[in-house]
């Protein structure tokens, strides 16, 4: 813990000094990759490029008495936790901001002295850690080794600065976050290894298993190298464990290949004081040959410094699409770090030759554009894709095309896709709002009729045939999903279906499919079945049509199981009808009861910022004339309380950028609170001026400027607004109005 406190003070002191001293800082300079690395934010400070396949991340969650929690790594959903201090290597290919453990393997570790290949023995404390976009470094106190990492889109490079003496580089293929431990490893020559590692079973889905292929190279010939293998102990079997000296059995270089669980390779060097050894790692989800090709194309002729400079430039180019002025240095750091986190996933899947693994198939296909993966759609359909649509439309279009290709290959749109496997994690039919929102906002360079076919399939097929809506029989016949098992998340499922059906009805209407538009719109109003006047909240319904009893709307507030609800309680879901806010208000007795009850959510601590269904609750006040000030006040409070320039500066899992997107939008002064509707709710910006660089090809305008005139730093409430120099009196603005408005001005009081 002392290490954590000292390191925290050093880093954040340096970061604050840098910002206060700098007058011409670029957006990349404001990013603090340590934000969200504790408090279950599950982000990490590793090196990655925007939407890159490769990430190289310090791994410190392996079980050890030195760690905050002495648990196996598979208990963690992140390779790095800020307060932990037991470093066991760098993992290659990782997830950011997720709630289930996966990936985080191909662990690369430097050591010195007597060779040990047991991670519980060879781990080290560290100090002097620093991170910036595309770069991470620390100093291993046990070995006096400085470590540094950077990355290209598909490869990583690690630089170890060793002391004089015998030094080692270890490649551990057995440990990591994944539930799989099988691998194949082959020595190609003195300086190169290649292999394959199994990954998968994300959120414990046994079918979601897939391989990652790799090629590892070092830039110095080792004096010796070889393999190790640990076989798990079984009664009467010693396997590869040597009981005489209590160490793993090692194989020297004459053995050219090894396969099985818990295997690895070691390379031993005689190093001089300060000698640097670089380790290159290329990966592919297609083949070892492609991993080698990725490595050769992306790192040929480049040293560590050049790769780092290119990675940093990529980040600065992307972050500079939004420029902010005014606000505090801390607010800028929070803003640009949130934008940074949002741009990590979805990430590219194709190799440099365009090859990628087809969805739920052994086939290898080739794409002409980018093929994306890691679609955490239950999270990202709410705001991530809306921000990508506005600011990075070329990527959002390619993501939609990827989703349609998944339908062509697999017969279904993705729900929670991971490297070509459908994990079926979380609820609903979340591809629909993403695709509809994209098309309705004007990004239409994809096959919309195929998209409609795919969406309609998921919305109409019986549950026995429906991968996305397994309880569709009840939903279609009753208009709701009854509680058939105590913890079946039935209400959560149905509320997600209502939102998806509302979005689908909007697209059907736009395409002239009037009957479908009416059908799906009517379905989207089925939420009314769940409203209990007795409690004034949504409540599960039993198969016989009666409300579930005994019922406690607070059950689930601490993520304990809650009948009918997933990851939350009734209060977290009762206002989750973004497509019919005024209809919900009428159900509750009108404007005043609705406003009073919604205000109670914030006053009584019923709002859970880490639980997606209620993240847009503060915006709902603005649907009612005269109540918009409540949105402005509550958003100001929430941003101040939950988003900080500290390791705990994200309120729970970042969920592949969803929490971060919430912060980015609301700090700019607008938010897409109804997925599938091409509109935003306006609120008070944090900054005096925001300039969003628009793509004229898609929006017909090259920039959107948001200006805020505030009499004092305490000014919070909006007095009036202007759009394009004309008075604008509505607190909801259509996407088309916004991108063509030129300048949106807020005048505060």
Q: How does DSSP assign 409-448, residue by residue?
A: HHSS--SEEETTEE---SSS-THHHHHHHHHHTT---S-H
Torsion of CA 58, 288, 151, 124, to 10 degrees: 20
Above 60 in pLDDT, residue 64? no
Q: How confident is the model at residue 558 (pLDDT cuts 50, 70, 90)?
A: confident
Identify whether the C-beta of residue 54 lies closer than 8 Å to the C-beta of residue 352.
Answer: no
Least confident of 57-61, 205-209, 330-334, 450-454: 205-209
Instruction: Give the pLDDT confidence score for residue 151 in this predicted structure.
Output: 98
Higher-pLDDT residue of 658 and 207 is 658
Instruction: Give the pLDDT confidence score for residue 557 in this predicted structure.
Output: 87
| pLDDT tens digits for range 696-742 | 999 999 999 999 999 999 999 999 999 999 999 999 999 999 999 99
Distance of alpha carbon 229 from alpha carbon 219, whole angstroms: 25
Identify whether the C-beta of residue 738 lies closer than 8 Å to the C-beta of residue 701.
Answer: no
Question: Quick one: 629 exposed, middle or buried, by C-beta within 10 A (0-12, 13-18, 19+)?
Answer: middle
| pLDDT tens digits for range 372-390 | 999 999 999 999 999 999 9
What CATH number does domain 321-748 carry, 3.30.1330.20, 2.60.40.10, 3.30.2080.10, 3.40.50.1220?
A: 3.30.2080.10
Q: How many whole angstroms from its chain centre is CA 14?
A: 27
Distance of alpha carbon 185 from alpha carbon 173, whole angstroms: 9
Above 80 in pLDDT, residue 243? no
Radius of gyration for the chain, computed over Cα atoms and rounded to the nearest angstrom: 26
- Calculate helix-pair angle for 329-342, 384-391, nearest 10 degrees: 100
Q: Would you give the DSSP letter of residue 358?
A: P
Q: What is the DSSP string of 48-91?
A: E-TT-S-EEEE---S--TTSSS---GGG-SSS--TT---B--EE
Distance of alpha carbon 145 from alpha carbon 453, whole angstroms: 57
Portion of the chain with pLDDT greater than 70, in percent: 92
Q: List the domain boundaries for the chain.
A: 31-316, 321-748
Structure tokens at 437: 């929102």
| pLDDT tens digits for range 530-547 | 999 999 999 999 999 999
Q: How many whole angstroms from its chain centre is CA 266?
A: 33
| pLDDT tens digits for range 396-422 | 999 999 999 999 999 999 999 999 999
Least confident of 54-63, 201-210, 268-277: 201-210
Identify whether the C-beta of residue 585 lies closer than 8 Å to the C-beta of residue 591.
Answer: yes
| pLDDT tens digits for range 174-183 | 999 998 889 9
Average pLDDT over residues 25-46: 97
CATH fold match for the domains 31-316 and 321-748: no
Type and span of the H or E element at 520: helix 514-524
Instruction: Give the pLDDT confidence score for residue 15 in this predicted structure.
Output: 54
Residues 6+ apart with CB under 8 A from 367: 350, 354, 356, 405
Distance of alpha carbon 652 from alpha carbon 38, whole angstroms: 8
Helix, strand, or coil here: 22? Answer: coil
Closest C-alpha to 630, from 679, 596, 605: 596
Q: How confident is the model at residue 1 (pLDDT cuts 50, 70, 90)?
A: very low
Identify whether the C-beta of residue 200 lies closer than 8 Å to the C-beta of residue 176.
Answer: no
Q: How confident is the model at residue 207 (pLDDT cuts 50, 70, 90)?
A: confident
Distance of alpha carbon 692 from alpha carbon 699, whole angstroms: 12
Identify whether the C-beta of residue 166 lies closer than 8 Å to the C-beta of residue 268.
Answer: yes
Instruction: Give the pLDDT confidence score for residue 609 in this predicted structure.
Output: 86
Type and span of the H or E element at 452: helix 448-460
Distance of alpha carbon 86 from alpha carbon 97, whole angstroms: 21
Above 50 in pLDDT, residue 235? no
Q: How many whole angstroms from its chain centre is CA 747?
A: 35
Type and span of the H or E element at 655: none
| pLDDT tens digits for range 480-491 | 999 998 889 999
Distance of alpha carbon 413 from alpha carbon 276, whole angstroms: 47
Portion of the chain with pLDDT greater than 90, in percent: 87
Reply yes or no: is the peptide bond before residue 284 cis, omega within 30 of 0.
Answer: no
- Calculate helix-pair angle for 490-510, 448-460, nearest 10 degrees: 150
Above 50 in pLDDT, residue 745? yes
Average pLDDT over residues 356-362: 97
Structure tokens at 330: 């801390």
3-state SS of 261-285 is: ECEEEEEEEEECCCEEEEEEEEEEC
Average pLDDT over residues 325-336: 98
Q: How confident is the model at residue 74 (pLDDT cuts 50, 70, 90)?
A: very low
Structure tokens at 88: 């066991």
Identify the residue whose tokens are 């560290």: 126
Region for 610 from its dihedrals, namely left if φ exceeds 0, alpha if ψ lies in -120 to 50, beta otherwise: alpha
- Please give the model's pTM, rounded to 2 decimal places: 0.94
Please give the C-alpha separations between residue 604 and each of 61, 532, 541, 575, 601, in angstroms, as whole numbers.
Answer: 36, 20, 26, 15, 6
Helix, strand, or coil here: 503? Answer: helix
Mean pLDDT of the chain: 92
CB atoms < 10 A from the CB of 268, how many? 17
Identify whether the C-beta of residue 348 lies closer than 8 Å to the C-beta of residue 153.
Answer: yes
Q: How many whole angstroms from its chain centre is CA 123?
A: 28
Q: How many whole angstroms from its chain centre is CA 166?
A: 40
By residue count, the chain amounts to 749
Identify the residue whose tokens are 């296909």: 365
Type and span of the H or E element at 107: strand 105-112
Structure tokens at 381: 């359909």
Instruction: Give the pLDDT confidence score for residue 252 in this predicted structure.
Output: 57
Q: Beta strands 165-172 and 155-162: pairing type?
A: unpaired
Above 50 in pLDDT, residue 234? no
Q: How confident is the model at residue 632 (pLDDT cuts 50, 70, 90)?
A: very high
Between the two ends of the chain, the Cα-to-Cα distance in Å is: 46
Above 70 in pLDDT, residue 492? yes
Least confident of 66-80, 132-146, 665-679: 66-80
In this structure, CATH architecture of domain 31-316: Distorted Sandwich (2.70)
């Amino acid at each position: 813990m002392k290490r954590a406190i000292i390191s925290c003070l050093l880093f954040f002191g340096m970061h604050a000094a840098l910002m206060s001293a700098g007058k011409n800082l670029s957006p990349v300079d404001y990013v603090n990759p340590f934000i969200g690395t504790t408090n279950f934010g599950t982000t990490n400070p590793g090196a990655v490029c925007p939407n890159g396949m490769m990430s190289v991340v310090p791994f410190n969650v392996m079980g050890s008495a030195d760690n905050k929690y002495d648990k196996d790594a598979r208990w963690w959903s992140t390779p790095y936790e800020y307060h932990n201090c037991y470093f066991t290597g760098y993992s290659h290919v990782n997830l950011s901001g997720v709630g289930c453990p996966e990936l985080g393997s191909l662990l690369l570790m430097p050591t010195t002295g007597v060779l040990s290949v047991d991670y519980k023995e060879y781990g080290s404390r560290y100090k002097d850690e620093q991170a910036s976009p595309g770069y991470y470094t620390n100093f291993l106190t046990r070995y006096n080794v400085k470590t540094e990492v950077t990355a290209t889109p598909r490869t990583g490079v690690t630089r170890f600065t060793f002391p004089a003496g015998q030094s080692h580089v270890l490649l551990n293929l057995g440990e990591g976050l994944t539930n799989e431990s099988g691998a194949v490893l082959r020595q190609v020559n003195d300086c190169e290894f290649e292999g394959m590692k199994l990954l998968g079973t994300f959120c414990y889905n046994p079918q979601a298993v897939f391989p990652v292929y790799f090629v590892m190279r070092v830039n110095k010939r080792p004096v010796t190298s070889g393999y190790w293998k640990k076989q798990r102990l079984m009664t009467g079997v010693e396997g590869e464990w040597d009981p005489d000296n209590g160490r793993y059995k090692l194989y020297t270089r004459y053995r050219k290949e090894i396969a099985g669980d818990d295997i690895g390779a070691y390379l031993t060097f005689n190093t001089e004081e300060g000698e640097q050894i670089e380790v290159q790692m290329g990966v592919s989800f297609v083949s070892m040959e492609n991993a080698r090709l990725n490595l050769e194309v992306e790192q040929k002729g480049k040293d560590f410094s050049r790769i780092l400079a290119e990675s940093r430039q990529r980040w600065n180019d992307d972050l500079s699409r939004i420029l902010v002025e005014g606000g505090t240095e801390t607010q800028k750091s929070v803003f640009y770090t949130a934008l940074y986190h949002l741009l990590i996933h979805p990430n590219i899947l194709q190799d440099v030759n365009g090859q990628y693994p087809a969805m739920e198939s052994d086939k290898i296909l080739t794409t002409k554009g980018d093929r994306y993966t890691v679609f955490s759609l239950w999270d990202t359909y709410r705001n991530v894709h809306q921000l990508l649509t506005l600011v990075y439309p070329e990527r959002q279009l390619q993501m939609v095309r990827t989703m349609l290709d998944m339908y062509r290959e697999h017969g279904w749109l993705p729900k929670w896709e991971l490297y070509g496997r459908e994990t079926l994690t979380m609820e609903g039919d979340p591809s629909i709002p993403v695709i509809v929102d994209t098309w309705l906002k004007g990004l239409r360079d994809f096959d919309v009729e195929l998209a409609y076919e795919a969406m309609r399939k998921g919305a109409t097929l019986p549950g026995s045939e429906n991968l996305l809506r397994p309880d569709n029989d009840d939903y279609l016949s009753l208009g709701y999903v009854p509680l058939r098992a105590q913890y079946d998340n039935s209400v959560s499922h149905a509320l997600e279906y209502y939102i998806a059906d509302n979005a689908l009805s909007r697209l059907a209407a736009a395409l002239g499919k009037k009957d479908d538009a009416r059908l799906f719109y009517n379905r989207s109003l089925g939420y009314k079945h769940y409203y209990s006047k007795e409690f004034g909240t949504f409540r599960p319904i039993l198969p016989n049509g009666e409300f579930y009893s005994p019922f406690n709307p607070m059950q689930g507030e601490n993520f304990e199981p809650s009948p009918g609800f997933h990851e939350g309680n009734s209060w977290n879901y009762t206002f989750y009808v973004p497509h019919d806010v005024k209809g919900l208000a009428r159900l509750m007795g009108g404007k005043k009861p609705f406003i009073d009850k919604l205000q109670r959510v914030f006053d009584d601590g019923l709002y859970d910022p880490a639980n997606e269904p209620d993240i847009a609750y503060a915006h709902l006040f603005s649907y009612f004339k005269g109540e918009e000030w409540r949105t402005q006040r509550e958003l100001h409070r929430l941003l101040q309380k939950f988003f900080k320039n500290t390791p705990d500066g994200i309120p729970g899992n970042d969920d592949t950028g969803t929490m971060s997107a919430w912060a980015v939008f609301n700090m700019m002064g607008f938010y897409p609170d109804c997925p599938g509707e091409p509109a935003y709710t306006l609120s008070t910006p944090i900054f005096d001026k925001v300039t969003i660089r628009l793509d004229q090809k898609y929006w017909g305008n090259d920039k959107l400027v948001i200006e805020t005139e505030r009499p004092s730093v305490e000014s919070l409430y909006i007095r009036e607004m202007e759009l394009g120099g004309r008075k604008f009196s509505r607190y909801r603005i259509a996407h088309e109005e916004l991108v063509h408005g030129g300048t949106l001005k807020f005048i505060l009081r």
